[in-house]
């Protein structure tokens, strides 16, 4: 059974290939069957493999499938090899499972679109690349998947490329993540030259053997990998691309820019956690970046009008939590939050997609309202997702994962009260903006009735994801609530457990109560400000500083403005100044001489046979002369 592992990424690739080659000739049903079916088959195989892996775990705790040697240059021989362990298994299950649900949703959601087969070709390619990224046993292969998902992200953000805004958003995402990718590539070069391999397990072994904790090389490599992760996962300071990435179709936002691709950075850091353990300063930076990002993005999410942009900032913020967890060494907590986040955030996006589609492509929440009776399925599932996002205590998956992060942030030797407070404030902001969405969209007065109808293919994924968003957390019950940490135990085969500071480890129950109260308080504030006392909100935002702060947050803390002033404008200025430099002169000269030569030669083309004959004669004379005199 485990030998079928290669099929998991191969089937979506085959689907993409079929759609690229024959997509134009297939009917819509055919496209849908191939597009969603390939991911579905992949999910089933992944599930079977998972059952086999859990019931009969391999002796070493992981399974490696070597397919072939990719390149062999000198001593450097990266292999196309897949590695299945607890970490990649969880990720693969989430990607294929959630991916299949989103594909199923897309078959109905994209029904009327011209690029139906193109859409599914990109989506299948994305799933295949994502699986390569997750299953790679070699950092080079991982990098291939890394860039592959970046490409698919670019293609799908700019899916409706006829609108320049969408194309620009795609380009922005590509270029901004490229900054991180370049740093990551440099990190990989450094690893190859210093340790001589990119095979992950061998690499970790050699790193531990050769580098002391805190040695400059380990710090440099970890920092460079972190830069790659930051770019891909839209963390500070490379987070600016993700809100604009919402220009893509909603299922794309759900799959790529919420559930899977943007968490690749989290996966990378978890995968190479040994390197980060060797570089404590960088690991601290991971935690600080996570904490700062979750606060900044939470504030920005509070001020957005576009429902998808709220979700985008919320995604940035939630990945911030995962980074925070990684930073304090709570590896499995980060992966746990990744899983629950994939459920509820995909759910929120898909439900928002239904709302947007039924409201005639209206994104502004302030122009919606009162939709809970007209769109019951969307409402209830969205409510479940929002509750999970807001970490409503006890009943939602988000509570268990976020709580685990907060508790371990508090208790870890690498964490502490300050990071915990940041996480707590973030949780407060999260529950405010989550229920701000719910109240603005589904409660209040009905502003505009929805049109059209949505079929079972839209609703079934919503319902399944809603169930997962509620019960998905029960795989990990904290010590105070039953003490059944199945998920952590499973992952500990691949990831070490958090190291707790004995002095802070005792207060778990109190922390949980505080976190739960904060979540409920946030929901209350949202209810008060956005439903019950709208006038209070108006009074709150009337003073000039408040309005300015609102604008500042709505613009994402001015990062776009900052990058425009610091990077883009100087670059454009330099390009403009440098237009006529010496090197250009050379190429201009080549072009000029080509043109001059063309003029001279075309002047010889008189169109007269006699001229040509004269030319022939001259040639004969010259050649005879050469024969005679040389």
Partner 1 sequence: MVPIFYVSAAVAFLATALAISRANVVHGLLDLIVSLLAVAVMFLTLGAPFLAALEVIIYAGAIMVLFVFVMMLLNLGPQTVEQERRWLPPRAWITPFVLAAVLLVEVVVVLGGVDGPALAGEAIDPRQLGTVLFGRYAIGVELASMLLLAGVVGAAHLGRREGGA
Partner 2 sequence: MAAVPMTHVLMVAAAIFGLGLVGVLVRRNIIFVLMSIEVMLNAAGLAFVAAGARWQQADGQVMFLFILAMAAAEVAVGLTLVLQIHRRFGTVDADAMSRLRG
* φ/ψ (deg, to 5) at 585: -55, -45
Q: Which of 29, 193, 535, 602 binds partner 2 (CB under 8 A)?
A: 602
Q: Which of 24, 565, 586, 613 binds partner 2 (CB under 8 A)?
A: 613
Contact partner, 209, from partner 1, partner 2, none, Cβ < 5-8 Å per class: none
User: Among 503, 447, 506, 497, which residue's Cα sits nearest to residue 479?
Assistant: 506
Which residues are CB-neighbours of 122 under 8 A, at least 6 positions away? 16, 152, 155, 156, 159
CB of 619 to partner 2, least distance (A): 13
618 binds partner 1 (CB under 8 A): yes
Q: Are 362 and 318 in contact (CB under 8 A)?
A: no
Q: Which of 75, 605, 626, 627 binds partner 2 (CB under 8 A)?
A: 605
Q: How far is the C-alpha of 160 from the C-alpha of 237, rounded, in Å?
A: 28
Q: Which of 600, 601, 628, 630 binds partner 1 (CB under 8 A)?
A: 628
210 binds partner 2 (CB under 8 A): no
Q: Which of 577, 609, 627, 630 binds partner 2 (CB under 8 A)?
A: 609
Cβ proximity to partner 1: between 210 and 611 the closer is 611
56 binds partner 2 (CB under 8 A): no
Q: Which residues between 406 and 465 bind partner 2 (CB under 8 A)? A: none
Which residues are CB-neighbours of 179 under 8 A, at least 6 positions away? 227, 231, 238
Cβ proximity to partner 1: between 542 and 610 the closer is 610
> Number of residues in contact with partner 2, rule: CB under 8 A?
13
627 binds partner 2 (CB under 8 A): no
175 binds partner 1 (CB under 8 A): no
> Which residues partner with 484 through β-bridges?
477
Using the rule CB under 8 A, give the single segment among 79-87, 431-439, 466-474, 598-606 that binds partner 2.
598-606
> What element of type H or E holds 592?
helix 582-604
* φ/ψ (deg, to 5) at 534: -60, -30
Tell me 136's DSSP state: B
Cβ proximity to partner 2: between 29 and 604 the closer is 604
Using the rule CB under 8 A, give the single segment among 85-93, 151-159, 502-510, 612-620 that binds partner 1.
612-620
Q: How far is the C-alpha of 200 from the C-alpha of 142, rounded, in Å?
A: 10
Q: How far is the C-alpha of 12 from the C-alpha of 37, rounded, in Å?
A: 9
What is the maximum alpha-carbon separation in the chain? 108
CB of 596 to partner 2, least distance (A): 14
Angle at 321 between CA 319 and CA 327, to 5 degrees: 105
Helices (H), 6-138: 7-22, 28-55, 86-109, 116-135
The alpha carbon of 158 is separated from its chain's Cα centroid by a whole number of angstroms, namely 16
Q: Which of 74, 112, 545, 607 binds partner 2 (CB under 8 A)?
A: 607
User: Among 272, 190, 183, which residue's Cα sits nearest to residue 224?
Assistant: 183
Residue window 570-609: x/- pattern of binding to partner 1, with contact defined by CB under 8 A: ----------------------------------------
Q: How far is the C-alpha of 570 from the C-alpha of 24, rounded, in Å?
A: 45
Q: Which of 69, 281, 606, 624 binds partner 2 (CB under 8 A)?
A: 606
Judged by the rule CB under 8 A, the positions of this chain that interact with partner 1 are 614, 617-618, 620-621, 624-625, 627-628
Binding stretches for partner 2 (CB under 8 A): 601-610, 613-614, 617
């Amino acid at each position: 059974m485990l030998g079928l592992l290669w099929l998991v990424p191969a089937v979506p690739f085959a689907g993409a290939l079929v759609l690229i080659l024959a997509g134009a000739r297939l009917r819509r049903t055919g496209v849908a069957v191939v597009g969603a079916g390939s991911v579905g088959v992949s999910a089933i195989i992944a599930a079977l493999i998972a059952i086999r892996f859990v019931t009969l775990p391999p002796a070493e705790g992981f399974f490696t499938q070597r397919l072939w040697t990719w390149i062999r240059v000198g001593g450097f021989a990266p292999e196309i090899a897949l590695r299945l362990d607890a970490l990649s298994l969880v990720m693969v299950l989430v990607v294929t499972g959630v991916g299949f649900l989103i594909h199923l949703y897309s078959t109905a959601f994209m029904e009327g679109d011209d690029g139906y087969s193109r859409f599914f070709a990109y989506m299948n390619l994305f799933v295949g690349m994502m699986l390569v990224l997750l299953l790679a046993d070699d950092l080079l292969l991982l990098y291939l998947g890394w860039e592959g998902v970046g490409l698919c992200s670019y293609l799908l953000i700019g899916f409706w490329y006829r609108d320049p805004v969408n194309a620009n958003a795609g380009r922005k995402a590509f270029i901004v993540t490229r900054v991180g990718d370049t740093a990551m590539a440099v990190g990989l070069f450094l690893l190859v030259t210093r340790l001589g391999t990119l095979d992950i397990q061998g690499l970790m072994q050699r790193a531990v053997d050769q580098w002391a904790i805190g040695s400059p090389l380990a710090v440099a490599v970890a920092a460079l990998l972190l830069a790659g992760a930051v770019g891909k996962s839209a963390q500070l300071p490379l987070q600016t691309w993700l809100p604009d990435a919402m220009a893509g179709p909603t299922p794309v936002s759900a799959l790529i820019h919420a559930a899977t691709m943007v968490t690749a950075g989290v996966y990378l850091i978890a995968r190479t956690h040994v390197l980060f353990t060797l570089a404590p300063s960088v690991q601290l930076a991971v935690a600080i970046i996570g904490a700062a990002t979750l606060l900044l993005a939470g504030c920005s999410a509070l001020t957005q009008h576009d429902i998808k942009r709220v979700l985008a900032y919320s995604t940035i913020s939630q990945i911030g939590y995962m980074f925070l967890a990684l930073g304090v060494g709570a590896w499995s907590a980060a992966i746990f939050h990744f899983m629950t986040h994939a459920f509820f955030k995909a759910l929120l996006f898909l439900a928002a997609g239904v709302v947007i589609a039924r409201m005639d492509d209206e994104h502004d929440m302030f122009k919606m309202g009162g939709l809970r009776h007209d769109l019951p399925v969307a409402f209830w599932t969205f409510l479940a997702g929002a509750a999970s996002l807001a970490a409503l205590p006890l009943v939602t998956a988000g509570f268990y994962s976020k709580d685990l992060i907060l508790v371990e942030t508090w208790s870890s030797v690498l964490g502490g009260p300050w990071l915990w407070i940041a996480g707590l404030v973030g949780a407060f902001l999260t529950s405010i903006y989550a229920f701000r969405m719910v109240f603005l969209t589904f409660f209040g007065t009905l502003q505009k009735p929805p049109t059209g109808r949505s079929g079972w293919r839209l609703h079934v994924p919503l319902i399944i994801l809603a169930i997962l968003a509620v019960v998905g957390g029960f795989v990990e019950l904290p010590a105070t609530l039953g003490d059944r940490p199945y998920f952590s135990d499973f992952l500990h085969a691949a990831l070490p457990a958090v190291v707790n500071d004995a002095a802070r480890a005792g207060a778990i129950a109190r922390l949980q109560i505080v976190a739960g109260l904060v979540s409920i308080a946030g929901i209350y504030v949202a209810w008060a400000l956005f439903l019950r006392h709208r006038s209070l909100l108006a009074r709150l935002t009337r003073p000039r500083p408040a309005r300015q702060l609102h604008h500042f947050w709505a613009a994402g803390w001015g990062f776009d403005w900052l990058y425009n002033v610091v990077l883009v404008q100087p670059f454009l200025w330099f390009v403009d100044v440098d237009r006529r430099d010496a090197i250009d002169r050379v190429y201009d000269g080549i072009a000029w001489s080509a043109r001059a030569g063309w003029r001279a030669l075309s002047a010889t083309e008189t169109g007269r046979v006699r001229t040509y004959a004269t030319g022939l004669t001259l040639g004969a004379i010259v050649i005879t002369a050469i024969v005679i005199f040389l």
